[in-house]
Amino acid sequence: MEADVAAIIDAIGPRLRALRTARRLTLAAVSERTGLSVSALSRLETGRRQPTLDLLIPLAEAYRASLDRIVGAPATGDPRTHLEPYRHPSGGLAVPLTRYPGRIQVFKHVLGPREPRLVSHEGHAWLYVLAGTLRLLLGDDEHVLAPGETAEFDPMTPHWFGPADADGAVEVLHLFGPRGDAAVPRVKQQAG
């Protein structure tokens, strides 16, 4: 059992380095975000400093990663995931389905009636309508999508989406990739 714990602890440093480099951050940048010294961060990553909660909690916040992910905690035998919904600032309820900041994120959004307010930002967006009818505004164009339909767009185009029915709701899967990252199809069906 002690060997298992030692192996888990030994893997934390390389995991921290991988999280930092995947986010293209320097030790100095992480130091600024966390208040931890560059030397302490370096020693953590190389395994020369024992990881403790007072060191790992600020890193989890800076990397937007769970402590389980940082520690690589062993499975508990319970395969269920416990999703944590939150109220999205622009309205509705969002449920993050992935936890990989810096890469493509997947959310389930449940949106109720709200006033359209066009926004634009970097990235790449893809929507899939699960239930209800979606109204999507892209610049001066308006689109209405039914369950099973998708939309893919550059969010630098001023956009807004919500329920098409004035007093209804809509549920969508929303994939969002930062810095122009888009979902890459790996399998294409051949006409045959």
> Distance between CA 120 and CA 122 in Å, rounded?
7
Neighbouring-strand partners of residue 143: 136
Predicted pLDDT at 80: 57
Q: What is the pLDDT of residue 166?
A: 82
- Lookup: tokens for 41: 């961060």
Distance from CA of residue 117 to its chain's centroid?
A: 23
The pLDDT of residue 66 is 80
Across the beta sheet with 105-111, the strand order is 86-87, 93-96, 105-111, 170-177, 124-131, 150-153
Half-sphere exposure of 93 (CA within 13 A, CB side): 9
Average pLDDT over residues 72-94: 66
List phi, psi (to 5°) of 159.
-145, 165
* Domains observed in the chain: 2-71 (1.10.260.40), 86-180 (2.60.120.10)
pTM of the entire predicted model: 0.51
- The reported pLDDT for the residue numbered 49 is 93
Determine the pLDDT at residue 5.
82
What pairing do the DSSP bridges indicate for beta strands 159-163 and 134-138? antiparallel
Mean pLDDT of the residues in the chain: 83
State pLDDT tens for residues 40-72.
999 999 999 999 989 999 998 888 888 888 888
